[in-house]
Structure 1
């Protein structure tokens, strides 16, 4: 059984972020400015053991990997940004990881193939970088960029193939060409192929005919169906989450964690392709999106432990090298979505993982 946590490399300044948001902007900028929107709303959420780290410092990721592995997290899923024509973003920490074998933790890559908007400052409609799909020549260059990662001994393999996740496969207009190009290049470079995993997909997505090998639980897009399965959830959906009430009182959307669990743990008996459960410890993206954000209520290590237990049970139904649970996320601090030690719970979320794995 393996646990892999999504890893955000947005913790170092970049020329683009300096231009858009001011010099020195990183994920920490919004984290430290956060404030509560309602009684009992805990903000800001601040780091403990690792502090306000800078991922340009190699020792930071070395320490992150040590903490992760000591508590049962087997690997990271690095978000990877390729906008077409060689344009990458937030690549320095991952390139540094590739060269630094002191960070001895497994990994796979997730192409976060979405356009960037001004979400980090609550300006969601402001287009910053457009995600482009430029055809086979660009896919060839993209593959060559990723090849050293696929070949790395720490790369997660299934059936001997390096795992590559695509965040939003439905967004790729020539998806068949993209997949065929990568598969062809993998074989030409001595790899047995690519093991494809889809992350975000709509209910209309035909997984069986997608040519993907697996998918991370996509059910969270259907969360609203699960809100009214309890009295408290019903009250939130049609009471405090009413758009008029939220607008008047400037409130974020709130969801009880038991509704999130009901959604993510509504497993099917059979899936047309390999299914990987998704576990979420917490969520509060108001540091990024202010009152337009969403807050999960009653998140805590105990509740996460129960949730993780259900996800592990589901993953054990998979074949041996597919017994994997993906956790969102290791360090998405401005989305209140992290496993790293914080000033309220310390390492309690990580200790839950350690106890579940032992």
Structure 2
């Protein structure tokens, strides 16, 4: 069977950022500090994770070149960057703008944007005794969206390595209900997307491929709305639906440990229902892990509850991950036309979901992708 596009979500908070330095008051701060400070919270808890490549700066083109080679060599086709833009400008952009786009080998891997248009909260780390403050609202002023939509066409979509579906740039929206709230109505949000499609045609593209991230269970504060994202797809004129992570389909607020295979089964059941009901193609997801406890105060008691005090995915191994990949690849092959499989995540270290090599795991999860692709897929189209 043809190999679907394998896209790994990339979280770009592992480089110095001016906003983070202002928040923390520390020059050069990045989320590596939380990775290093993390400690076990219960028996058998495997923290801290130890990145095999060390605390490297992803905005360095040579560092990103190393990541690109590792991804391409193991069957990953695309980095799907979590992309942040607020009313006062971009955030965490240097990993893409300086790292990936500056890498000498960026022709080996495609990239695309997943607009992480959620509110940004002060949870790095979260204090169990304090309600997190909102640093930035994910509600974008319509005039800002008009300007930034043109910027995306110029700066990103025109790049030869940008992921395109039948010539149309692929763009994913993390929180579709939040996007609608930015414009005040579904009608106004649809009109904004239609205007953007017309801009894309004027730039020489056949259009845009708009993808919506779906979920059953909200994770972040303020996430979601009255309508499930998938239900908005036909109203917004979206072209496809996918998932960010399995825990959007299960309750992680009750147990310290949640079995990997059991959570996988819940996700694949939800996927089957959604694919049967959806008006547009639905792409499967495979999740490597889940453990956001590194984003909590390590000097205070930890108790399972709302994010980031979620329980963890337990029993995840490269072998179990590989089995889930084989299942998802087979499901993707059942669809018609362009097919994609998303993986959470390339480097969500502080959420316990990473393909990047770790001291005790080595390249185990990347090797699993390579093996699963070889077993299930045949090169070509």
Q: TM-score w.r.t. structure 2 length?
A: 0.82
Map 1:276-287 onto structure 2 (within 5 A): 276-287=283-294
* Cα drift, residue 27 of structure 1: 1.2
Contact kept, 8 Å, 2:243 with 2:284, in 1: the verdict is: yes
| Distance in structure 2 (CA, Å) of the matches to 1:88 and 1:152 | 19
Paired residue for 1:306? 323
| Distance in structure 1 (CA, Å) of the matches to 2:136 and 2:346 | 25
Contact kept, 8 Å, 1:139 with 1:181, in 2: the verdict is: no
Gap change, CA 1:82 and 1:258, over 3 Å in 2: same
Unaligned runs of 5+ in 2: 184-188, 217-226, 303-308, 375-381
**1:14 and 2:40 equivalent?**
no
Deviations 1:242-263 (A, max 9, x none): xxxxxxxxxxx43111221012
* Cα drift, residue 9 of structure 1: 1.2
Gap change, CA 1:254 and 1:181, over 3 Å in 2: farther
- State the secondary structure of the residue aligned to 1:316: helix
**1:338 and 2:340 equivalent?**
no
* Cα drift, residue 133 of structure 1: 2.1
Q: Which moved more, 1:280-289 or 1:18-27?
A: 18-27
Q: Which moved more, 1:176-185 or 1:348-357?
A: 176-185
Gap change, CA 1:201 and 1:187, over 3 Å in 2: farther
**1:79 and 2:82 equivalent?**
yes
Deviations 1:193-230 (A, max 9, x none): 11011114457441333311101137743313xx9xxx
Contact kept, 8 Å, 1:169 with 1:201, in 2: the verdict is: no
Contact kept, 8 Å, 1:220 with 1:263, in 2: the verdict is: no
Map 1:133-152 onto structure 2 (within 5 A): 133-135=140-142, 137-147=143-153, 148-152=155-159
Paired residue for 1:214? 240
Q: Which moved more, 1:25-34 or 1:91-100?
A: 91-100
Contact kept, 8 Å, 1:4 with 1:325, in 2: the verdict is: yes
- State the secondary structure of the residue aligned to 2:320: helix
Contact kept, 8 Å, 2:62 with 2:103, in 1: the verdict is: no
* Cα drift, residue 289 of structure 1: 2.8
* Cα drift, residue 186 of structure 1: 0.7
| Distance in structure 2 (CA, Å) of the matches to 1:121 and 1:127 | 13
Paired residue for 1:231? none
Unaligned runs of 5+ in 1: 228-235, 242-252
Which among 52, 58, 62 is matched to residue 55 of structure 1? 58
* Cα drift, residue 99 of structure 1: 4.2
Gap change, CA 1:53 and 1:285, over 3 Å in 2: same
Two-structure CA RMSD over aligned residues (Å): 1.9
Paired residue for 1:255? 258
Map 1:12-51 onto structure 2 (within 5 A): 12-23=15-26, 24-48=28-52, 50-51=53-54
Contact kept, 8 Å, 1:217 with 1:264, in 2: the verdict is: no
* Cα drift, residue 294 of structure 1: 2.7
| Distance in structure 2 (CA, Å) of the matches to 1:302 and 1:99 | 35
Paired residue for 1:119? 123
Contact kept, 8 Å, 1:33 with 1:287, in 2: the verdict is: yes
Q: TM-score w.r.t. structure 1 length?
A: 0.87
| Distance in structure 2 (CA, Å) of the matches to 1:264 and 1:101 | 38
- State the secondary structure of the residue aligned to 1:125: coil
* Cα drift, residue 19 of structure 1: 2.0
Which among 156, 168, 174 is matched to residue 167 of structure 1? 174
| Distance in structure 2 (CA, Å) of the matches to 1:342 and 1:222 | 27
| Distance in structure 1 (CA, Å) of the matches to 2:341 and 2:159 | 22
* Cα drift, residue 22 of structure 1: 3.3
| Distance in structure 2 (CA, Å) of the matches to 1:125 and 1:301 | 34
Gap change, CA 1:54 and 1:286, over 3 Å in 2: same
